């Protein structure tokens, strides 16, 4: 099993969710986060004063999937989240040692 974390632009969430649903992903966790990378933020004008916005709003997706599904999930996220502009995001893949469903006690891939 692997855990996939993806940081994407907020307006791409629905597209990514639909792409994941189309390939059979049954669950994911979504968190609103803030961050910066090469995009480096921007300045905004409020009541005549300039403010530097260092951290930009992003969406973090977390998906646990069997190892044989990782390539499909990564491709679905990449294709549906891509705008071709700076700040499209990143995908991180981690090994997942164990998953336990609290309600039933199921373990491993059965718990996904």
The whole-number pLDDT of residue 86 equals 86
Domain count, the chain: 1
Structure tokens at 54: 């260092």
Decide if 47 is inside a domain. no
Structural domain contains residue 52: no
Q: Is residue 88 situated within a structural domain?
A: yes
Instruction: Answer whether residue 51 is part of any domain.
Output: no
Q: In a 3-state reduction of DSSP, which class is residue 16?
A: helix
Question: What integer best gives the mean pLDDT of the chain?
Answer: 91
Q: Which residues of 56-78 are buried (b: 16+ CB within 10 A; e: fewer)?
A: bebbbbebbbeeebbeebbebbe
Q: Is the pLDDT of residue 82 over 90?
A: yes
Structure token digits, residue 9: 């632009």
67: domain range? 2-31+57-111
Q: What dihedral do alpha carbons 26, 27, 28, 29 form, nearest 10°?
A: 160
CATH number of the domain bearing residue 13:
3.30.70.120
What predicted TM-score, i.e. pTM, was given to this entire model? 0.85
Helix, strand, coil percentages (3-state) for the chain, rounded to 5, are 30, 40, 35
Range in 6-15, 37-46, 60-69, 79-88 the model is least confident about:
37-46
Question: Quick one: pLDDT band at residue 80, thresholds 50, 70, 90?
Answer: very high
Rounded to an integer, the average pLDDT of 42-47 is 70
């Amino acid at each position: 099993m692997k855990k996939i974390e993806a940081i994407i632009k907020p307006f791409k969430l629905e597209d990514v969710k639909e792409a994941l649903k189309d390939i059979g992903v049954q669950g994911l966790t979504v968190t609103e986060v803030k961050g910066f990378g090469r995009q480096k933020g921007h300045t905004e004008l409020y009541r005549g004063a300039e403010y530097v916005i260092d951290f930009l709003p992003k969406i973090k997706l977390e998906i646990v999937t069997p190892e044989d599904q990782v390539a499909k999930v990564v491709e679905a996220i990449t294709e549906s989240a891509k705008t071709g502009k700076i700040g499209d995001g990143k995908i991180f893949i981690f090994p997942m040692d164990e998953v336990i469903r609290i309600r039933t006690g199921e373990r491993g891939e059965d718990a996904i």
